[in-house]
């Protein structure tokens, strides 16, 4: 059973959101067309990034916790991660829009973006030699800058991110060694800041934010485009 540990983490993350997707009043399964079109594109980008960093030794995987099925140099569980986690997050974003009418983050979202853009850009430049830190921080800073220029309201993006953080710490904590003899995913600390939240490199929290925001934005794009086409008909 140990070899199914990472797979179990993936399935545990997506189980409740998947079941809840069939709630009749607000059925997320009706959004699958927009979600999966977006997710496939973003997943391909992150899988490529992941594959390159794996080759460079920025991180790697403990075969004791893997099924042994690989896609290129990545375990299949790692590829599924880029489907399961975004599904949970976009589902949460979808649900929050129906549940929360007055978003408590509405007034601070723009300022929070400005703060992150500056901090991540500066830290990314100051630690340019650390691949995980620089690529992740600079990419996120650039993407947030793009969203700010486009005047995208990110209040529900941030609310989604903050709500999933506890689950992020649990799932990522397991992947990085919590409750296990050894980590499922290991990191070469020369390529990150060496700052950890428990076992989790702080870069993971920014990497996760970028993954979530990119999936939400492309999902919104395809959903709006589909709506516009239907309206034209």
What pLDDT, on the 0 to 100 scale, is given for residue 1?
84
Percent of the chain past pLDDT 70, that is, above it, reads: 97
Residue 27 within a domain:
no
Quote the CA–CA distance of 30 and 124 in Å, as a whole number.
39
Q: Given its phi and psi angles, is residue 175 left (phi above 0), alpha (psi -120 to 50 degrees) or beta?
A: alpha
What pLDDT, on the 0 to 100 scale, is given for residue 74?
98
Quote the CA–CA distance of 94 and 156 in Å, as a whole number.
9
- 108 Cβ contact partners less than 8 Å away, ≥ 6 residues apart: none
- Report residue 135 as tokens: 């690529």
Query: Which residues face 70 on adjacent strands?
Result: 75
pLDDT tens, residue by residue, 77-94: 999 999 999 999 999 999
Quote the CA–CA distance of 34 and 39 in Å, as a whole number.
9
CA distance readout (Å), 84 to 39, 94, 168:
10, 15, 12
Helix extents (H) in 101-201:
109-126, 131-149, 155-175
- How many residues can be counted in the chain? 233
Residue 180 within a domain:
yes
CA distance readout (Å), 83 to 11, 14, 226:
10, 9, 22
Instruction: State yes or no: pLDDT of 149 exceeds 70.
Output: yes
What pLDDT, on the 0 to 100 scale, is given for residue 153?
96
Alpha-carbon radius of gyration of the chain: 18
Averaged over 176-185, what is the pLDDT? Answer: 94
What pLDDT, on the 0 to 100 scale, is given for residue 229?
58
Residue 178 within a domain:
yes
Mean pLDDT of the chain: 95
Instruction: State yes or no: pLDDT of 114 exceeds 80.
Output: yes
Residue 175 within a domain:
yes
What pLDDT, on the 0 to 100 scale, is given for residue 231?
56
Residue 103 within a domain:
yes
CA distance readout (Å), 123 to 90, 116, 118:
28, 10, 9
* Cα 152-160-23 angle, rounded to 5 deg: 110
Q: Is 138 exposed, middle or buried (0-12, 13-18, 19+ CB in 10 A)?
A: middle
pLDDT tens, residue by residue, 5-61: 999 999 999 999 999 999 999 999 999 999 999 999 999 999 999 999 999 999 999
Structural domain for 215, as ranges: 2-17+54-232
Residue 133 within a domain:
yes
Residue 41 within a domain:
no
Residue 196 within a domain:
yes
Count of the separate structural domains present in the chain = 1
What pLDDT, on the 0 to 100 scale, is given for residue 181?
93
Helix (H) or strand (E) holding 187: strand 185-187
pLDDT-derived band at 197 (thresholds 50, 70, 90) equals very high
Instruction: State yes or no: pLDDT of 70 exceeds 90.
Output: yes
Q: Given its phi and psi angles, is residue 117 left (phi above 0), alpha (psi -120 to 50 degrees) or beta?
A: alpha
């Amino acid at each position: 059973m140990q070899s199914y540990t990472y797979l179990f983490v993936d399935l545990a993350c997506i189980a409740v959101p998947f079941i809840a997707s069939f709630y009749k009043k607000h059925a997320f399964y009706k959004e699958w067309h927009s979600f999966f079109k977006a997710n496939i594109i973003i997943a391909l980008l992150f899988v490529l990034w992941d594959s390159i960093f794996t080759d460079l030794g920025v991180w790697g995987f403990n075969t004791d916790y893997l099924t042994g099925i690989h896609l290129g140099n990545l375990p299949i569980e790692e590829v599924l991660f880029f489907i399961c986690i975004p599904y949970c997050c976009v589902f949460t974003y979808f649900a929050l829009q129906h549940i929360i009418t007055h978003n408590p983050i509405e007034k601070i979202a723009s300022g929070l973006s400005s703060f992150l853009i500056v901090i991540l850009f500066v830290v990314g430049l100051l630690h340019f030699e650390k691949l995980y830190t620089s690529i992740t921080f600079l990419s996120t800073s650039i993407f947030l800058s793009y969203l700010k220029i486009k005047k995208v309201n990110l209040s529900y993006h941030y609310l989604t991110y903050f709500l999933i953080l506890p689950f992020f710490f649990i799932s990522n904590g397991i992947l990085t060694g919590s409750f296990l003899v050894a980590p499922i995913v290991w990191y070469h600390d020369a390529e990150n800041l060496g700052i950890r939240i428990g076992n989790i490199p702080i870069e993971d929290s920014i990497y996760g934010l970028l993954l979530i925001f990119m999936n939400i934005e492309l999902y919104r794009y395809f959903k709006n485009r589909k709506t516009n086409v239907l309206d034209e008909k």
